[in-house]
Chain A
Amino acid sequence: MSLSPHAVEEIKELPTRFPAQSRSAVMPALDIAQEELGYLTPELIKEVAGLLDLDSGYVEGVATFYSLFHHKPVGKHRFYMCTNLSCSLRGAEDLVKHALDQVDVSTTDEVSPDGLFSVEEVECLGACEFAPMMRLDHKFEYDLTTEKLDALIAARRDSQPKKKKASHG
């Protein structure tokens, strides 16, 4: 998988936003690259490095420092669930277990069998008055309960195009 022509164009334009000779374009460029698959592969990192005229080891160093860059496949919908203190005082840990169960994975490293979901425990997301909370599809979800999680999961399953059932002769 390599970058789409559109992504290449976008990345090439980034450096003009920053002072000359700076490396500041590297993170926005990695964002664009990550959009392609949902995670970064060594090939994508190399391509970004080439476009920005940077060493690919350097770009990999940046990409592996920050937790919003992923290096393994992720679900189409990713649960970023806060389990820091304000949320765990209000039951976040049980909610993580519930979410893992409901999307049918056993750890936060897996993607659900249907490819739709993955669950990640994250650090404080800065919406503590709404604890327990999480970020899902670029949106914050507040006052989580098991019922609310079930509804969010069901809505995403329902919006999937239905697959034809395999016929058995």
Chain B
Amino acid sequence: MAELRGDFGPGPDRVLTEHFGKDGLDTLAGYQKVGGYEGWKKALTTMTPSEVIDEVRTSGLRGRGGAGFPTATKWSFIPKEPGTKYIVCNADESEPGTSKDRYLLENSPHALVEGIAIACYAIGAHQGWIYIRGEYDLQYQMLQRAIDEARKAKLIGPSPFGSKYAVDIQLYRGHGAYICGEETALLESLEGKRAQPRSRPPFPAIKGAWGRPTALNNVETLITVSWILAHGGAAYAKFGTEKSKGTRLFSVSGNVQRPGVYEMEFGRPFRELIEGKAGGALPGRKLKAFWPGGSSAPVLPADMLDTPTDLESLAAAGSMGGSGGVIVMDDSHCMVKAAARLLQFYAHESCGKCTPCRVGGNWAVRTYARILSGQGSDVDLGLLDRVQAGLQGGRCLCGLGDAAGWVIESSMNRFRQEYEEHALHNNCSVEQGALAHA
């Protein structure tokens, strides 16, 4: 049984986590006891593939990996002509601050197996692949066991539920590269290559894994599909806002009293999540900033805690919903140091294919090092500004460089004073305050 930290069990907006915490939910028997595989059975034995896609369209489900693209639309791009097609599940969760896919896999691996089977049927694929990050050892084993159990019970395999629609699922282990979360880099990796993003078009829907039409979906997305097929798209669409339907899992980490993975309906404010569920700041501290959707989502100051969690409100606030990873920082931590740490990450994880990202990230790392060692000047602040602009604007094949640019831009815009203290006066009032306090 996985260690749980967050909230789960029955509740007004518990869709995916309603049964979490029950003994044996990770086994086939336990999953079936709470209605598991009923959605897959219904889809396969009573619906056509296009009816399955319509049901998901009714739900309004949008991808939970970060981009928020409508799932039904993505599936409808797959050509209808017969031939080999694939569903590839992106279980390469590696956006800093994001742990919700791990939480889902540990609690309910069968829900993913079911979601992949449904998705395969919807697009006419007979083979699903799960690309799981190499560090997820326990989660890999749990998924392998779930796949084996489902095969043995003839829920997947040559003839699920006695039908003639063969579906099988295989696991593929990643080997430590953030870039593999990007869908075309993931495909390159699955094909046994260095994970460098492809230029598009052709899009994966036309030419994906091994040159065949492929739909890539995130773990949480596919698990939500299982729920939607069992309970109906309309039931799901009752949750959330007009454009961001349903619930999502937020992994809250950093300087809060109760870090954890919390499921919440879209549209309620971050204050409810961070101060309510996660307990707010540690005693004697004040919240200073939060990254609302993984480290790639532009940082927001704590006075914006009333921003609603739906994707549209976050875009209007100058950030994004991203992966649902909420990193919270309190007033004892320096924003320049935090941004420097993140830039180290983006520079290290750049695959090196596109020049702005390969060069810009390292340029920023060296500039931050100068500023933090007391060797900075206003020239360095100007340089950071030029580097962040150069990293952004769709100059690269994927969004990694843009995200690095957003970290610099948002932290400089929102916390300019801290940058000036470091660069111009070799001073950090934040850490001095924290020391005086301690």
Contact = CB atoms under 8 A, between A and B. Distances in A.
Contact of B98 (A27, A89, A128): A128
Contact of A127 (B102, B327, B351): B102
B195 A65 contact: yes
Contact of A27 (B138, B192, B252): B192
Contact of B135 (A25, A80, A83, A128): A80
A128 B103 CA distance: 11
B3 A66 contact: no
Nearest to B261: A129
Given A25-B192, A128-B259, A85 B338 contact: yes
Interface string A53-73: 000000001100111110000
B325 interface: yes
A138 to B, nearest CB: 4
A124 B95 contact: yes
A85 B98 CA distance: 11
A70 B191 CA distance: 21
The CB with the most chain B CB atoms within 10 A, among A24, A135, A142, is that of: A24
B406 interface: no
Nearest to A30: B175
In this complex, the member of A23, A61, A130 whose beta carbon has the largest number of chain B beta carbons within 10 angstroms is A130
A159 interface: no
Contacts of A80: 135
Interface string A12-46: 00000111001111111011000000000000000
Contacts of B136: 126
Given A65-B195, A67-B176, A123 B345 contact: yes
Interface string A73-108: 000000010011110111000000000000000000
B93 interface: yes
Contact of A124 (B96, B252, B351): B96
Contacts of B191: 22-24
Contacts of B263: none
Contacts of A142: 3
A88 B3 CA distance: 22
Contact of B192 (A22, A67, A90, A122): A22
By size class, the interface of chain A is 35 or more
Contact of B254 (A27, A85, A123, A130): A85
Given A22-B210, A131-B253, A67 B99 contact: no
B251 A128 contact: yes
Contacts of A17: 170
A125 interface: yes
Q: Is the interface of A mostly helix, strand, loop or mixed?
A: loop
Contacts of A86: 96-97, 253-254, 327
Given A24-B192, A65-B194, A90-B254, A85 B176 contact: no
B81 interface: no
A65 B137 contact: no
B195 A26 contact: no
The winner among B96, B195, B327, B333 for most chain A CB atoms within 10 A is B96
Contacts of B351: 65
Interface string A115-141: 000000011111111110001001110
Given A89-B333, A124-B96, A126-B99, A68 B327 contact: no
B143 to A, nearest CB: 14
B329 interface: yes
Nearest to B255: A89
B135 A135 contact: yes
Contact of A126 (B101, B172, B259): B101
Most buried by A among B178, B259, B261, B349: B259
Contacts of B295: 84-85
Nearest to B342: A85
Interface in B44-89: none
A5 to B, nearest CB: 24
B341 A85 contact: yes
Nearest to A64: B194
B130 to A, nearest CB: 13
A61 B94 CA distance: 22
Contacts of A131: 253-254, 259
Contacts of A30: 175
Interface of A: 17-19, 22-28, 30-31, 61-62, 65-69, 80, 83-86, 88-90, 122-131, 135, 138-140, 142
Closest 9 CB pairs of A and B: A23-B192, A66-B175, A128-B253, A67-B176, A86-B253, A68-B176, A26-B192, A124-B96, A129-B259
